Amino acid sequence: MVNGGEEPAKLAWRRTGIALVITVVFVLTAFAAVLTVPARVDAANPTAFRSLRFGILNLAITTLNPMKITLNDEYVVVYNVFSTLISYDKSYNPVPDLASSWSLAPDNVTWTFNLVHDAYFTDPTAPSDRSHPVTSADVVYSYQVEMATKGSILNSYTEQLAGVSAVDTYTVQMVTKQPYAAMYSTASAIPILPQYIWSGYNQPLNAPIKYPVGSGAMYYDNANTTSNVLVLRKNPNYFGLADYCQEVRPDEVRYISYSDPGQMVTDFTTGANTLDGIISPDPTSYLASNGLGNWAPKWAVDLGFVSEFAINVITPQIAAAYGYRYTANPVLLNETFRLAVAMSIDKPQLIADALKGLGNVADTLVPDTNPWHYDIPANQEYQFNPTAARQMLNAAGWKYDVNGNLNPDATPLALAGGQMPLKVRFYTLNTAPEWETAAIDIVKWLAQAGIQTTDRLGNTNPGYGLYSINQMSGYWLSADYDMWFWDWIFTPASDPSVDVLEVETSGAIGPTSDNYYSNATYDALYNQSLTTVDQTARRAITDEMQRMIYDYHSYILPYYELQLYAAYTPTQPRTAASPPDPGWTNWGDWVKDPGLTVDGDLPNLWFQVSPMDYLPPQVSSFPQIQWVSGNPTSIGVSATDPNGGGLNYTWDFGDGSGTQTSTASPVTHTYATPGNYTIKVRVKNGAWTSCSSTTAQIVPSGGPGANLPPQIKSLTFPLSHGVYGVENDKVNFTVVANDTEGDPLYVRWSFGDGSAIATNYSALNTNQNTAFRQSHVYAANGTYLVNVTVTDNQTGILNHLVWANANVLIENAPSQVTEIGGSRNPWIDYGVPILIVAIVIIAVAAVVLRRRRTMKKELGEEEKPASPPGGPPPPPPST
């Protein structure tokens, strides 16, 4: 001991050793955090700017005037920017939009629309400005200007309107000429224009629209939109959250144009360009193992895309009446020729070659996904047979070559003297590989029948012309083509008349007709279909119209193409984006709910997707209420914040008592009057709102059968990833219930996957909240509806079997990669931290050893070590 302490060498070693241990523990702890905590772009930030980005093939916008739009991308802009009176949900059921409610008077012609009171027009140059509310005057103006503008593509939707007027600031009345079967289509088709802008246009059809001003969920970002990028921004004035609990979560939706579909798929799968999804990848890439073959989620959606092989049948009379310079090649007006063309198109083979099987054989113009589709009986369909088609043409006089020689096997065939040769121009799009693949097949088959095709300049090799959307639109609007292959885009909810079959009416020549067909009988049937309210009678009319188009063979419909999509979630391995993107989840099932598709004209997807860096509240269940009047009842919703924060609740009990706010659930409420009530709740975290509703059955208190049923307080099940669980992992469910009289409670579980139902029983303290727990393992991905029922097996004036439902989402186990923003290289993710730890440990050990040797040397010079007991005495000092 030296001065009551340890020897200096031992003290120094201990201190250094402690430092080494602390350093190692500190580094290892940090390393463990690297291994166990996923990397995030930022800490959860409810106010961060979030972009949703999609690759799209050949973005095409030629106009943003709602009266002149014809291309799909134009519809995307217009119906995201403008409100309509009614809209459609993700399953294409009609839902309120600018009109919160509507009614039809007993006269069957007077419609009343009640508008929301908090809609504003948003100007992209001043998006926060709320100085222009949307009122009934704007609705009246919008409908009247469409009624007066015959050249508008929307004019046909207003032809049955006798008048539109404002009852008051927020009430509009429409009177139809007769009972009108397509009123929903009209109310969902007419964009509500700002009168304060449009009334300044002398010719609305030619209005110089630089950017649209509307009141919809999005606004057009004119500052960032270019010829290759379309940007829609979240409308800060949108009324959807307040009125319908519809909240746009992306701050912007960005469409990035690609001309090469393969490059688009590559960019998406590798993380380049930060694409969250892609629209219309080519079928080969969609199926290929080195493309999207094993990708999830991806969807092949039957949306109503109708491919059309159209033969231009404009007559000299039609051309003169409508001011067209072009008159159809007389061959095109010949019925035998058109039937021969129809017999020379192998629809299943086109689907196999051009779409790689991703389509359905078509027959009529109303698509197969639409409930109004008429399926031509198989024994009445024309069959693919080019040989029989040639024989039919030969019999009709086309058995000579162009030099007038008898040659039934010639291509092109001609009439005697080489007259009227079967030589026609054939155009299609250059926007995707499948168009040319189909064109090659069609040219080959037509040649077998004796029909020769050329491009616009008359070249027979390759026998077709590939043109851009703008070029094709120009040929359409000038009626200057012979045959083409393009498509119509409808929806599962399209009205069969005004949305679909109208394009073949004489009135459509000019705005929408692209084969210039005109038939007085067809027109009369069309008008009759608009005023036939009886569904059975109306179907007979629309079936006949579809049959007429099929039999005329000017519209030959090869297939209903499935639209292809893919989206990204951070559970999939992909190269990190730069700058890092947190990613999105909750895409939904687009096949089941086609109203979610990103290139549709509905904003439903923006209301559904959730940003991975800050998720919305998750409402797992909202149990029904059964109780008696005059007594307080507990009303609770099971909700959590995946971000770990607190929640705020806004309750509407449905009895006119107003709203109540709270920071916790459940709450207590007393219903004064018996009845059935709808209870609504809004649950909000730091950024987002989620809504739910349930029912309350309130009966008089007292009297016989006064025994009260159980009450379910909550149904909860924390999931392994906040919003979803992982297949083959255990999900732990807890239901909390009580019974006023303390009766024994029986609980039955159904997990939604067909598994056996478990039964639990409790007879202890059930007059207090009692937790019943059950676990379950889901073996496959999917969304499962869990049902839990609780009963006390008693009887009374109320049903004693109460229940709660919840949806449980199960997905694939996340890949072993860090979150977006981290590296995807395990040598970097794990090797670098290990190397750092090793270097630190070695460095510390080297310092300790070096310090120990130094101290030994110093101590050896200052003091010799004592001899062990019993050893020889030390030598005498030297002299």
Which of 596, 585, 590, 644 lies closest to 814, judged by CA?
A: 585
Q: How high is the pLDDT of residue 816?
A: 36
* 421 and 464 Cβ atoms separated by less than 8 Å: no
- CATH 2.60.40.10 matches 620-811: yes
Domain ranges across the chain: 8-36+827-862, 52-255+600-611, 304-384+422-436+447-562, 620-811
Residue 323: both structure tokens together? 């001011």
Residue 429: both structure tokens together? 């799009």
CA-based R_g, the chain, Å: 36
Residue 27 CA to residue 34 CA, distance in Å, equals 11
Helices marked H in 424-465 — which ranges?
433-449
% helix / strand / coil in the chain, to the nearest 5?
Answer: 30, 25, 45
Rounded to an integer, what is the distance from CA 590 to the centroid of its chain?
6
Strands 99-104 and 483-489: unpaired
Which of 248, 228, 218, 282 lies closest to 58, judged by CA?
A: 228
- 666 preceded by cis ω (within 30°)? yes
* Intervals of the chain under pLDDT 70: 1-43, 571-581, 702-705, 722, 813-879
Residue 354, strand partner residues: none
Q: How high is the pLDDT of residue 777?
A: 94
**SS3 of residue 17 by DSSP:** helix
Give residues with Cβ within 8 angstroms of 146, minimum separation 6. Answer: 67, 152, 154, 155, 157, 158, 190
Q: How high is the pLDDT of residue 813?
A: 60
**SS3 of residue 52 by DSSP:** strand
Q: How high is the pLDDT of residue 229?
A: 97
Q: How high is the pLDDT of residue 622?
A: 92
Q: How high is the pLDDT of residue 477?
A: 87
Q: How high is the pLDDT of residue 796?
A: 81
CATH of 304-384+422-436+447-562, one of 3.65.10.10, 3.50.50.60, 3.90.580.10, 3.10.105.10: 3.10.105.10
Residue 629 CA to residue 672 CA, distance in Å, equals 5
What single string gives the DSSP state of each residue in 750-793? E-SSSPPPPEEEE-SSTTS-EEEEEEEE--S-EEEEEEEEEE-S
Strands 423-429 and 483-489: parallel
Torsion sign (Cα): 480, 309, 491, 164: positive
What single string gives the DSSP state of each residue in 113-153? EEEPS--B-BBTTBTT----B--HHHHHHHHHHHHH-TTST
What is the fold, at CATH topology level, of the domain defined by 52-255+600-611? D-Maltodextrin-Binding Protein; domain 2 (3.40.190)
Q: How high is the pLDDT of residue 43?
A: 52
Q: How high is the pLDDT of residue 574?
A: 67
Give the pLDDT confidence of 639-657 residue by residue, as tens digits.
999 898 999 999 999 999 9
Q: How high is the pLDDT of residue 703?
A: 56
* 285 and 261 Cβ atoms separated by less than 8 Å: yes
Q: How high is the pLDDT of residue 802?
A: 87
Using left for φ > 0, alpha for ψ between -120 and 50, and beta otherwise, residue 214 falls in: beta
Residue 727: both structure tokens together? 């297949």
Which of 220, 224, 192 lies closest to 66, judged by CA?
A: 192
Amino acid at 30: A
Which of 275, 182, 219 lies closest to 493, judged by CA?
A: 182
Q: How high is the pLDDT of residue 803?
A: 86
Residue 837 CB neighbours (<10 A):
16
Residue 377 CA to residue 370 CA, distance in Å, equals 17
Q: How high is the pLDDT of residue 763?
A: 84
**Structure pTM?**
0.82
